[in-house]
Chain A
Amino acid sequence: MQDEPTPIELTRVVAEFLRNDIAPLISGHQAFKLRVAVNILDLVTRQLTQEEGSDAKEVERLRALLGVDGSVVDLNRVLAERIATGEVDLATPGLADHLWATTMDKLAVDQPNYASYKRELSRGG
């Protein structure tokens, strides 16, 4: 077992430092790049916080939908293949709900300010 603080605590404290102490000191293209860097750290922090839970739920849904077991990567591959062959489509019970739930979890990490995501979230997640 690794020592503490945790990766989440570490990425968060670095992002805070860059945002609060460094950003006010620089301008121009470097300031733009710094904003990108801070955005990356924020994204990584969100992923570290949320990934474990959302992956577990995704695997559970995929197992029910596909009737097979495997890692989240393997199961996504199987689902992609079945959609490609037409074996599974939007008429398949559970597919639309699964894709919506998975996509909402992705946006929560990638881009929680994306307008489409905020609109769908306001509909009740």
Chain B
Amino acid sequence: MIEAELSRSVARWCKGATGVTGAAKLSGGASQETWRFDILHPDGPIGAILRRSPKGYGAAPTRAAGLAAEAQLMQLAYEAGVPSPRVMHVLTPDEDLGTGFIMQRVEGETIARKILRDDEFAAARPRLARQIGGVLAGLHRLPQDKLPELRSRSATQEISEFERDYRSLNWPKPVFELALRWLRDHDPGPSTEVTLVHGDFRNGNLIIGADGVRAVLDWELAHLGDPMEDLGWVCVNSWRFGEIDKPVGGFGSRDELFAGYEAAGRRVDPSRVKFWEVMGTLRWGIMCGGMMQRFREGPDHSMERAMIGRRASETEIDLLRLLAPRGG
């Protein structure tokens, strides 16, 4: 049972801790797991989250930054005032828990449909797009000399990589071809400024409370690149959950996002943001294709994966709306 290993671990680095309770797996595939648990402490329980690769699953997929880098980024973000959970401990090999880290649990909601509909968030919603602009500005300003080693990708390299992923599916889709052509024709070239890019900043990876954004999660796709990538990705229609007239995660307008970003002293390049929105829409479509392939070839032969495969067509209509909008 994981609680025994966790108890031994917390006893070493959390002063006064007497054990752990309530360990429950929140999500995870074969290579990465998230657990919640409480640290028992004389001053009251401390909510915690474990993110780890179990033993024997050390190798990160090619695009992932790795759990050690993720812990470092979250800690840097926390210290810089970007909403982020505090990292409490990085696992060591002798703890028998695999590789990963333990962070403080931030209470709030990540389920987009609830955030977009429930009364609890009604007061926060109109402010979120602008607030997200400010959070991204802070994230893009994290000191580069303190960052862990991260992959670096230009727009041109990203197009090639997605094209290769798409061709490997052997799944000819005229709309995807059209999007690839458009991306090549509109490649903005190297960014004048290269910063940390979160890589998966969107509705679903943000913990939201009645007061707004409380934490940015899932830093595993963090890399160095064009900061406008994060602004484009958060606008992809797939993360609006039906609120299609509010491009920023279903919360608000691009103008609000840009205003929040610029109020924090950073410049927006709207044409680059549009480029990355198209790229992001295609990216999610190709990922849906990857789900279909994994469903077919294993190891995950699940109904959920099969159905995500059929969601590629959602990105096709969104790409057409971006690239060949119909009048009226």
Contacts and interface: CB of A to CB of B under 8 A. Distances in A.
Nearest to B163: A84
Interface residues of A, number: 33
B71 interface: no
Nearest to B321: A116
A76 B318 contact: no
Interface string A79-95: 11101101001100000
**B interface secondary structure, majority:** helix
Given A33-B303, A36-B303, A120-B326, A89 B313 contact: no
Contacts of B263: none
B301 to A, nearest CB: 13
B284 to A, nearest CB: 13
Interface residues of B, number: 31
A89 B317 CA distance: 17
A54 interface: no
Contacts of B306: 40
A116 B244 contact: yes
B123 interface: no
A10 interface: no
Contacts of B318: 116
A99 interface: yes
Contacts, number: 87
B320 A100 contact: yes
Q: Which of B173, B314, B317 has the most CB of A within 10 A?
A: B317
A93 to B, nearest CB: 13
B32 to A, nearest CB: 19
Nearest to A117: B317
Contact of B244 (A89, A103, A110, A119): A119
Interface of A: 33, 36-37, 39-40, 43, 76-77, 79-81, 83-84, 86, 89-90, 96, 99-100, 102-104, 106-107, 110-111, 114-117, 119-120, 123
25 contacts: A33-B304, A36-B304, A36-B307, A43-B310, A76-B173, A76-B174, A80-B172, A80-B177, A83-B181, A84-B177, A89-B178, A100-B326, A102-B174, A103-B320, A107-B317, A110-B314, A111-B310, A111-B314, A114-B314, A114-B317, A115-B242, A115-B243, A116-B317, A116-B318, A116-B321
Interface of B: 172-178, 180-181, 237, 240, 242-244, 303-304, 306-307, 310-311, 313-314, 316-318, 320-321, 323-324, 326, 328
